[in-house]
Every structure is written in C-alpha cells, then in structure tokens.
Amino acid sequence: MNDMTTSPVLQRKRIKPAFWFVVLGSALWGVDPLFRIILLDSLTSTQIVLLEHVILVLFMAPVLWKHRAQLGQLRLRHLGALIFISWGGSALATILFTKGLELGNLNAVLLLQKLQPLFAILLARWLLKEMLPKSFGSLFLMAIVGTYLLTFGWTLPSLEMSDFIQLGSLFSLGAALLWGGSTVMGRYLLGAVNYETVTSLRFILALPLLLAFMLSERQIWSLPSGAWDVSLVGINLLLQALLPGLLSLLLYYKGLSRIKASYATLAELSFPMVGVLINWIAFQQAVTITQLVGFLLIWVTLFTISRQQERAAQPIPAS
C-alpha cells in the first residue's frame, strides 16, 4: 500500500520518531558553544577548529574509502563546490563562529545562525536559478529587522565604527552566510555523489587550509601543563567534534528526510533553546527581550517560507 491509504494514526506514529531525531540533532548544535568557550581558555579559534577537523577526518576517512568509487563521478565543475564547502563552510565558517563566541554576545552569536536558510535561498537563486518564495522581499526585510535587533538592540548605532561594528555578530553572520552557501553547494554535489562522500571530503579537504591558517598565525600552543588538564582539553575536543559535530548531523538528516519542512522548522527550535539555556547556566548570559523579539522575527520568516514551499510542492488535485 502507498502512503495515501495509510491511516492518520499510522502516519503520526511514523512522523513522531523523525521529528524527535531533528529535535535531538538540533539540540546538540546548541551544546556547541559550551565546548568552544571552555576550549578558548587554552587554544586559539584556529587551533580548536584544526584539531576538531583532525578528529573528524579520523572518523570519516574510512567512510570515504568505502565510497571511493564515487570519486570517479566528480568532474572539474564540481571542484569549485567542493572548495567552497570544505574551505568556506567547514574551515573558515567554523573559525568565524568560534571567534564570534570569543568576542561577541553569546546569545546573539548563537541566534544569528538561524539566518542560514535565508542565505541559502538567496544563493540558490543566484547560483542555481531557483525561484524565490512568494513575498520574499518583505519577509527578508522582516528578518533584517530581527538581525538588527539581535546585533544592536533598540538603539541606533553610534557613528564611531568601534561602536557600530559588533565584531562578534559580524563573525556570526559571516559563518551563517558560508554555512548557508554550503547547503546550496552540497545540493549541487549530491547530484553526483552521496551525502557520506560529500561530508568526508568536506572535512578532509579543509585540513590543508586550516594548517596554513595556523602556521600563518604563529601562535604558541598554550596547553595546560598538568597531565589531567591536558586530558580534559582532549576530552572536550573529542566531545565537541563528535556530539555537536558528527552525531548531530547524522540525527538531523535522518529525521529531516522523513518530515515536512515546517515540522523541521519547529523541531529546530531546540537548537536556540538549548544554546540559550546553556549560556544562562554556564556563562550567566540571559537572553534579553530585544534578542527574543529579533529571533522571533527571523523564525517567523523561516516558518512562513517553509509553509509556502510545502504548499507549492503539493500536487494539484485533478478536477
């Protein structure tokens, strides 16, 4: 039997586990700042991201070897997309996000990541010639207002550049742009190879650039002197790479393939909720009313767009 003849009760039972996969995967992203802030006490942003990628490569290299036959399906036109995903979305974006946590308001940096889908839509229009959602201009303007509130609050920015430019928020926006672009490039690559191959290449190809960044910084590795403290740093790095890094992606995409986009938008609220809660408990940074209003404007924009896309994808009933 096809899905059209499945009872609503069975459909709800099928949707529920997938929904919670997205909830759990997104919630693990919210744990990310906890590990990064702690690691910043001992390592620079670039060093953290480099070591994180080394761990991920160790786990993903066997996956790439298993799917090595797919490498022959890649053509020269795919090279640009691979470079963007690995160098931009994996290396540079993660450095910018980590730097944003170091310099900015933790909640603002975290909540601004919800702009990723909007950047993906704009880049898909530019690169893949996809149609923009209905009333996208007004919806995007609403998101811009939300972004402004998250960055500057209700006050007008000062004419002094040091006050106007919130470095933490700018780094966060840069990361969101690169991660949104990686979504578009990943969609393009998935026409040639599977998701496992793209993910493996994303981490592996980022290593040379991260190594070059680290060498150019000429920063001394200031690891703790005690063996126990060094072990704690290693444990933090391992958990950082595997929980909000690898495991979150596996759970998220397992659930995303089985639920509607609007359901996923609701489920993804676990990401900012967990992140803000951790920032409050661990770092004593409570979310402000202004930040909450800004985030709601961005989320309403995304939810409206996802609903529009679902209605557009529904088949027109025969007359």
Identity at 49, one-letter amino acid code: V
CB 89 within 8 A of CB 209: no
What is the band of 7 on the pLDDT scale with cuts at 50, 70, 90? very low
Question: How far is the C-alpha of 178 from the C-alpha of 214, rounded, in Å?
Answer: 20
pLDDT of residue 315: 59
Closest CA to 255 of 303, 247, 203, 201: 247
CB 81 within 8 A of CB 162: no
Question: How far is the C-alpha of 306 from the C-alpha of 213, rounded, in Å?
Answer: 38
Question: How far is the C-alpha of 269 from the C-alpha of 243, rounded, in Å?
Answer: 18
DSSP state of 180: H
pLDDT at 209 over 90: yes
- Chain segment 262-309, per-residue pLDDT in tens: 788 888 889 999 999 999 999 888 889 999 999 999 999 999 988 887
Cα 147–Cα 149–Cα 153 angle in degrees, nearest 5: 145
DSSP state of 70: G
pLDDT of residue 313: 65
> For the chain, what percent of residues have pLDDT higher than 70?
89
pLDDT of residue 60: 92
- For every residue of 256-271, DSSP letters joined together read HTTS-HHHHHHHTTHH
Q: Which two tokens stand for residue 29?
A: 């992203």
pLDDT of residue 290: 92
Task: Return the sign of the alpha-carbon dihedral for residues 288, 303, 23, 115.
Answer: negative
- Chain segment 19-31, per-residue pLDDT in tens: 898 899 999 999 9
CB 291 within 8 A of CB 108: yes
3-state secondary structure of 223: coil
- Chain segment 83-99, per-residue pLDDT in tens: 999 999 999 999 999 99
Closest CA to 37 of 238, 279, 273, 271: 279
Closest CA to 100 of 181, 47, 167, 162: 167
> For the chain, what percent of residues have pLDDT higher than 90?
45
Residue 200 to residues 32, 98, 186, Cα–Cα distance (Å): 20, 22, 12
pLDDT of residue 230: 83
Question: How far is the C-alpha of 250 from the C-alpha of 245, rounded, in Å?
Answer: 9
**Which sequence spans correspond to the domains of the chain?**
20-312
Question: How far is the C-alpha of 19 from the C-alpha of 153, rounded, in Å?
Answer: 33
pLDDT at 1 over 60: no
